[in-house]
Structure 1
Amino acid sequence: MNMVNWIRKYPQVILLTLTLLVYGNTLTNKYALDDAIVITENSFVKKGIDGIDDIFSTESFTGFFGFDKKLVAGGRYRPLSIATFAVEYEFFGQNPHISHAINIILYALVVLLIFQVLRKSQLITTDLAFIIALLYALHPIHTEAVANIKGRDEILAFLFVLLAVKWVLYSQKNRLLVYSAAAISMFLAMLSKEHAIAFVVLLPLALYYLKRPRNEIVQTAFTVIIPAALFVFVRYQVLGGMQIEESSSLMNNPFVEMDINERFATILLTWIWYLRILVVPHPLTYDYYPYHVPVTGWENIYPWITVFIALIMLFFAVRSLINRRFYGYWIWFFIGTFLLMSNLFFSVGTFMNERFMFMPSLAFCVALGYGLYWLMQRKAFARAGYAAIILIGVAYSVKAIDRNNDWKDDFTLFTHDVQISENSAKGNCVAGGQLYEKAIDTQNKTKKQKLLKRARTHLKKAIEIHPTYNDAHLLYGNTRFASEEPLDSVMPHYLSILRRASRHQSAWKNALAVLQKGEPEKRLKWYKKLSNIDANRFEINYQMGNIYGKHLNDLKNAETYLKKALQVKPKNVKALKDLSVVYGLTQRYKASATQLEKVVKLKPNDASAWYNLGLSLNALGKIDAAQKSLDKAHELNPQQKRVVIKR
């Protein structure tokens, strides 16, 4: 049996085998990128099955942030894939290998369904259906959806859409049951990812192009409209509506700093980029954040090329509505599955993403498959057609396998892709963060300093691209501190964050931790600057009081700031004790005793407080009370010599 006959006899086996072979190397990968949001640091997922109710009743990232935080316009409601992670956690714990295996299996099912749906259309031969499914299975642009566990939302959405298509188009028996199953499948698709709602139009439209009876088209339309309406209702109940309120953060809305002309010109530039990586999927990157995709205007030729291509596509798509030429459906398919993620109507949080091509890429594979099949049917070009399929298949496979390795873990992904997305603020920031974390865990001092230097290079680049990027400033300050640089090199980065976001807890935590070391005068200078941001923070006032009193012998200022600290935390033992020392040194023994009496009430086993209280009471002439305090101090700390007051 020659190869062609063998392929025709076992097409599904070959598609399944190739898909498993190409993506099999993801099985050893760990968690990466957004897996933290939906799995490893998602409190709902960590509840296992008990967390499913929370998953379906909140915005998709609530389990990570701990509160509803709509990072993109309208928020996200994609509970189904997250629920599958919760079920996995219930039975396997945090096991990325199980999750990767499930993603591969689901992707293989998508490929098999594509083949089955296409070959039963009567407009596509089995050989052509195989070629299209093969191109789809091997195309490297799908690595982001498959190799990144979080990409399961894309896979599930398409899987359930294809099931609905299969049932509606090709199941002739018991139509009521078929339509019910299709409606349920469509609802599950939308629960996986919202843009599956495009098939409310695309599924009836497929019947139109296949020249099915009008009543069948109408029935199918109702079949998909009902679950869509239910999904919109459920989403409204959970998220409170479909308001399109775009984020003001550059990392969640890349167009925030652009005018209207730059915005739409740049959007059209990304569309031509999508076409480029569909045709030549290299290089690939997870990171299309500002400004890997450059801001452009209408003086650039590429937006105009995009407009030209879009108009040509629309012309043929509209024309095909009249003559029902099947090629037109695939133009509508591409438009329908791409438009909601295209940034045209609202920002999706980034310029573009390869996973957004998971559905639209099928239209590209159909076009490429038709072209290759046409060559194969011509005697003069048949060998060229077969050779092209083999070359493309091998090239796709090699690239996909190699790209899967980049998704091994966060460190590998971030440090690799930043070399591609070198002008991305986020890419440089997260790469710097990974290098910083690796440096902190490294014992070898020379290696540690090399890692910190690399981290600073990326973080500096992130700040140059996005000067007010808080995460980059935070990490940059951390790397300088880890390199034991002076306060004047470290603190400006934390201070810049706090001036923009006065409640940034990580910046406060790091700034106050850094200021535990250093020369008293320099520490005091920075505490004063922090005080201008929050004059009522306990730690600032306490440390300033401590420095004035302990290091600068400025008891007046020491008293002022220690009192302010105690206004914030009246029962803080260390502030009460330090203030008592100030009172003692200024011979205000009654005030000193008052503070120390508060201390021993709060902390009865504090031997030093009892001892100092005894000294203050003795200075006040309260001999009996003083002796009792001194005896108590000796009782709590027998190693301290017992003091007997002479009467």
Structure 2
Amino acid sequence: MKNIKPIYWVFLIALLGSLLYFHTRDFGYSADDGIYSHFNRVTKQGLNNWQELFEYGSMNFIQINPVNTSIYRPLTLLTFAIENELTGEFSAPVGHKVNIVLYALVLVVIGLLLVHLFELKKLPIWLALLVLLLYAVHPIHTEVVASVKSRDTLLCSLFAFSAILIWSKAGPKPSVLIQILAGILFFFSLISKEESIPLMALVAGIGYFFYNKSLMDSIKGVVPFLIAVVVYMGIRAVVLDEASTVYNSMINSVLYDAEGGELIATNLYIYLQYIKLLFFPHPLSWDYSFSQLTVQTFSNPMVWLSLIFFAGLIYFAVKLGKKRDLLSFGIILYLATFSIFANLSKSLIIGSNLGERFQFVPSLAFCFLVCYGIYLLAGKYAQAKLPLIFGIIFVPVILAFSWKTVDRAKVWESNYTLSKSGVETSPKSWRTHMFYGDELRQLGAQIRRTNPDSAEIYFKEAVAELDNGYEIIAGRVGVSQFLGSLAESYLGLGDSTKAISILEQSTRENPSSSFAFVKLGYVEMSRNNIPKAEEWFIKGLRAPDPNHFALYKALGTLYDKQNENLKAIASFKKSLEYGPDREVSRALGFLYFQEGDEQTARQYFPEDEEIDMEEVRFVKDMKLANLAFKEEDYTTAFEGYESIVPRFEEYGGEEKYPSFYGAFGETLIEVGDTLRSKEYLLKAYNLGGYQGVVCTNLGVISYFYDKDYEKAEDYFAEAIDIGVSDLYSSLVNLGSTQIVNGKEEDARETFEKAFEVRPTVTVVRNLYLLNANLGDPEKAEYYLSLLQQNQ
């Protein structure tokens, strides 16, 4: 090591730290990633309107409930806009690769700063590198590095530590130019994320502890950084609106339920949990909502332990600070950088009980204190055995932390893996159960059309998880946004009565959300309860802040289905007042044609489109049948399609309506007419359109009804080659068919692909059995161990 410059060791450690996240490079989006990327109105446009990012608050551009309050992080958003401009569209793997690189850069800058500071105090450089190594592998950083959205924290840290490094390297009296440069970089940090403000304490600490300046001169050294903060806060005050709403309920932070002594006790309890995670980062979770953490009182011994611990920290920070002891420096750095997340008063509650991401910078102080503290103790009592002591302590810790980091980062692969991990690591949290339930519901909806049996399992699990979430809340506070998910899950199970009851509850608890009103209306339409459907749509329009577009469109569809043309026209026209929609425009055109007002109808159709009244009626019937098909009202869809068949060729046939055969074929499957279903699906197959779903349905018929397993295998394989929305189910279908056909080698390859898409118990069990049968005990043992882990 003596022959290798410290900078090379810094780069090596930074490379090691970033490589721990290399497997996240192809992960998808999860959690809040979308608010900066695909759910962001401006960043989705690339650099077309990038100026807006600096003119408004950063929550003003999200598609759901935009507000010009809360945060101002334009530089972070600008990097997402640049990413979109360069790549053409947002891609989660690109975002993950950016985070890996940024983490490496942050480690390099922090490493160079540590080396510089340790040189100033004539401390061993290997000790600075050990601090960096412990920091680089610490598992508490996984949320920041593995979550694309946390680019804001990485950028913030990169610019802030770069500013401090430049300022510190310039010596005790940096030039005006250096101070200006440091101030600019610190400002960049602030407009990436505001959490770097407390790092001004690090600047003062370097002056006092490392350059031996007086306390007043050390504080004066902060001036360039303070100017950046003042400028940032001034811009923020001008740009952001006064917050009209806050997340001031227990579902976001239990501290909102605490008063007086309870608030202090709960905070102390949470502070101790942070310390525990720094020393022993297991289990880690993306959420610690109620009742994973609850309101505490001073009757809890852990609260008193926390009080004693932190009082001791403050005492030693003051006492040792007078001697310029570096232990005091480490303590002050931790307390200062953590203070912004400490929820010190009701007005400063940040809306989160506990967040591992909040320890990204404070954990640096922790690593410093641990390494330096052990160095002092070992040096005092066992100087000759210093290498052995450090080896015994830190080698297993570094290895364990590295393994935990790699393992923990896996859960950030997708919303499904993340939400599933939440119910395992925070089983008492209402939020983890709700989010996992919603993910299960979405998965069920995706696979329902191609694999109904598998979909039912997902819907049942979704109901169970959502019910668990509501049971934890137990009426304490409403979380009606998840009632829609629960209702959709019951609809997936075919229990419309229960779904209606839940949606009605949603309209009472959250009348400003139009989803429940729209869904209730469509459910009643599918049951042919037209008056009740109309009632729900109208109630939705009268509710606070309604979604006029969706509700008027729904009303127009309802009246159109009932042949109440004038009412349908009025409703569709009102819908278009709130946004363009091709489907609504064409519906209006057909309605005007049916009313004999060809001139007005032409306003909604291309001038060269020739349509007679009989065709208008035909298209209307087709449209209503398609609507029923989309709503999975297969009985109505069957009746509609059956009435269309005699007129189909006359009005354009397969050339004009290429999806008809496939839709009718799938409808016939749903109503139990397999023989005719196969006839129409084969027509669709020969036509060459609608292929993915058509091949899947033909495969299902060949497998379950015709028992022609060779043909089923061909269809399933072709569906995968063409492309299907649910690749997992298609791979399972193909693999199962290959097993029946005695093609175990092919089946193993297929199930291995399914494992990469979604490593379910079904897939793992098949891979275990296949490898055992094919004489590969090593792989069989691997998959058996996975099965045992999931038991």
For this structure pair, what is the TM-score category when the shorter chain's length is used for normalisation?
Answer: 0.7 to 0.9
Q: Distance in 2 between matches of 1:264 and 1:322?
A: 29
Contact 2:18–2:103 at 8 Å: present in 1 too? no
TM-aligned CA distance change 1:236 to 1:512, over 3 Å: same
Distance 1:130 1:40 in 2: 39
Equivalent position to 1:366, from 350, 365, 368: 368
Measured after TM superposition, the shift of residue 319 of structure 1 is: 2.0
Contact 1:338 1:357 in 2 (8 A): yes
Measured at CA, do residues 90 and 544 of structure 1 come closer, stay the same or move farther in structure 2, by a change above 3 Å?
Answer: closer
CA contact (8 A) 1:372 1:388 kept: no
Secondary structure in 2 aligned to 1:161? Answer: helix
Match of 2:45 in 1: 47
Paired residue secondary structure (1:504)? coil
Instruction: Tell me the residue number matched to 1:239.
Output: 240
Matched with 1:465 is 472
Secondary structure (helix, strand or coil) at the match of 1:49 reads coil
Task: Give the Å deviation of 1:200.
Answer: 3.1
Distance (whole Å) between structure 2 residues aligned to residue 112 and residue 610 of structure 1: 69
Give the Cα separation in 1 of the matches to 2:541 and 2:93: 47
1:111 pairs with 2:107: yes
> Counterpart of 2:70?
75
Question: Closer, same or farther in 2 for the Cα pair 1:7/1:32, shift >3 Å?
Answer: farther
The code of the aligned residue for 1:445 comes to P
Task: State the match for 1:152 in structure 2.
Answer: 151
CA distance in 2, matches of 1:233, 1:35: 28
CA positional deviation for 1:198: 1.3
Query: Tell me, what secondary structure is at the counterpart of 1:323?
Result: coil
Q: Deviations over 1:253-278 (max 9, x none)?
A: 54344444444332222111111111
Structure-2 change in CA distance of 1:146 and 1:445 (3 Å): same
Distance change >3 Å, CA 178–CA 541, structure 1 → 2 = closer
Question: What is the aligned partner in structure 1 of residue 356 from structure 2?
Answer: 354
Partner of residue 422 from structure 1, selected from 424, 427, 433 = 427
2:672 alignment partner in structure 1: none
**Equivalents in 2 of 1:500, 1:206: separation in Å?**
54
Q: Who is 1:314 aligned against?
A: 314
Q: How many angstroms does 1:8 deviate by?
A: 6.6
CA contact (8 A) 2:254 2:295 kept: no
Cα gap change, 1:540/1:263 in structure 2, threshold over 3 Å: closer, same or farther? Answer: farther
Distance 1:174 1:603, change over 3 A: closer
Q: CA deviation at 1:546?
A: 11
Matched residue, 1:282: 282
Identify the residue that residue 90 of structure 2 maps to in structure 1.
94
2:265 counterpart residue number: 265
Taking structure 1 as reference, are residues 460 and 526 closer, same or farther at Cα in structure 2, changes over 3 Å only? farther
Q: Is the 8 A contact 2:327 2:373 kept in 1?
A: no
Look up the match of 2:406.
401
Instruction: Quote the residue 1:126 is aligned against.
Output: 125
Structure 1 equivalent of residue 415 of structure 2: 410
1: distance between equivalents of 2:299 and 2:169? 50
Write the deviation string for residues 280-335 of structure 1: whole angstroms up to 9, x where unpaired: 01111111222221232332222222222121111112223422222112111111
Checking the alignment, whether the CA contact within 8 Å between 2:46 and 2:85 is kept in structure 1 is yes
Q: Give how far 1:135 is off.
A: 0.3
Whether contact under 8 Å (1:321, 1:328) holds in the other structure is: yes
TM-score, normalising length from structure 1? 0.80
For 1:516, the equivalent position in structure 2 comes to 525
Give, in whole Å, the separation in 2 of the partners of 1:61 and 1:344.
Answer: 25
Q: Tell me, what secondary structure is at the counterpart of 1:40?
A: coil
Distance 1:400 1:570 in 2: 54
Of 94-103 and 532-541, the range deviating more from structure 2: 532-541
Trace 1:121-200 onto structure 2 (pairs within 5 A): 121=117, 122-123=120-121, 124-172=123-171, 175-200=175-200
Contact 2:187–2:228 (8 Å) recurs in 1? yes
Query: How far off its partner does 1:238 sit?
Result: 1.0
Distance change >3 Å, CA 544–CA 244, structure 1 → 2: closer
Checking the alignment, whether the CA contact within 8 Å between 2:57 and 2:240 is kept in structure 1 is yes
Distance in 2 between residues matched to 1:39 and 1:261, nearest whole Å: 42
C-alpha separation in 1, matches of 2:174 and 2:257 = 56
Q: Which amino acid aligns with 1:402?
A: D
> SS of 1:297's equivalent?
coil
Structure 2: how far apart are the matches of 1:535 and 1:67? Answer: 20
Task: Give the direction of change, closer, same or farther, for the CA distance of 1:509–1:257 in structure 2 (3 Å limit).
Answer: farther
Q: What RMSD over aligned residues (CA atoms) do the two structures have, in Å?
A: 3.5
**Preserved CA contact (<8 Å) 2:559 2:568:** no
User: What is the alpha-carbon distance in structure 2 between the residues aligned to residue 495 and residue 296 of structure 1?
Assistant: 36
Counterpart of 1:556 in structure 2 is: none
> With CA pairs under 8 Å and 6+ residues apart, which has the higher RCO, 1 or 2?
1
Retained in 2: the 8 A contact 1:208–1:217? yes
Q: From the superposition, tell whether residues 212 and 375 of structure 1 become closer, same or farther in structure 2 (CA, over 3 Å).
A: closer
Contact 2:518 2:537 in 1 (8 A): no
Question: Per-residue CA shift, 1:166-210, capped at 9, x if unaligned?
Answer: 122222497122111111111111111112111334312321122
TM-score by length of 2: 0.66
What's the CA shift string for 1:431-475, capped at 9, x where partnerless? 111111111111222211111111111111112223421122110
Q: CA deviation at 1:152?
A: 1.4
Q: State the shift of 1:234 in Å.
A: 0.8
Given residue 187 of structure 1, which amino acid in structure 2 is its aligned partner? F
Q: Map 1:547-626 onto structure 2 (within 5 A).
A: 569=571, 599-601=595-597, 607=613
For structure 2, list consecutive stretches of 5 or more residues without a partner in the other structure.
544-550, 576-590, 603-610, 618-647, 652-791
Partner of 1:15: 13
* From 44, 51, 55, the counterpart of 1:57: 55
Moved more, 495-504 or 427-436: 495-504
- Say if 2:440 is the partner of 1:439: no
SS of match in other structure, 2:424 = coil
